[in-house]
Amino acid sequence: MTIKLVVGLGNPGPEYADNRHNAGFMAVDELAHELRANYWKSEHGALTAHVKRGGQELILAKPQSYMNTSGGPVSKIAAAYKIAPEEILVIHDELDIPNGDVRVKVGGGHGGHNGLRSIHDKLGSNAYARVRVGIDHPPGRKPVADYVLQAPRGEEGEAFRAATAIAAEAALCIVDEGPLKAQNRYNVK
């Protein structure tokens, strides 16, 4: 199945720009740069850019409804453009993967990720592909909500930013060659 919609998860606004929870936004921005998307428009509750890849139209999207309600804009875009869940790729942060690592997955549960939970609920499906950007678990007893809304610093920040660029590469691999090839390439560490 062809990927027609690539969604990066995050929170809108400059105060969230570099935080861990915005890994998806950062990766989609990288992808937009790579694909020379120079025009973003507001539609269906998201910022979208329409590009061509391999002769196919590809929509890049950054929901503007905040992480926990990302499913609304994703389902509205999918409905408007007649895109099936199997034709959607979501890029997001992942606590259960070490910081700086990137993994590809198709289907499965939401693992407590509120953005994914919202998408599952609104699409009524978990059949979409995912690129997961590792952010690791918070140190000590730091609350997860505080941790994901902070920008990583120093070496950790460098590894995080590098992972968002790798996530954009992995997304292109899925678009061009399919999720299985991407899993074989990016899930090996």
Comparing CA positions, the residue from 47, 33, 14, 13 lying closest to residue 164 is 33
Q: Which residue has the tokens 């926990």?
A: 68
Give the C-alpha distances (Å, rounded to integers) separating 135 from 28, 65, 149: 17, 22, 11
| Residue 58: φ, ψ to 5° | -130, 130
CA 166 to chain centre: 12
The torsion angle over the Cα atoms of residues 15, 17, 21 and 23, rounded to 10 degrees, is 180
- Helix%, strand%, coil% for the chain, nearest 5: 45, 20, 35
Residue among 21, 44, 92, 120 flagged as catalytic: 21
Can you read off the two tokens belonging to residue 36?
A: 């020379």
Q: Is residue 21 annotated as part of the catalytic site, yes or no?
A: yes
Whether the CB-CB separation of 102 and 96 falls below 8 Å is answered with no
Active site residues: 21
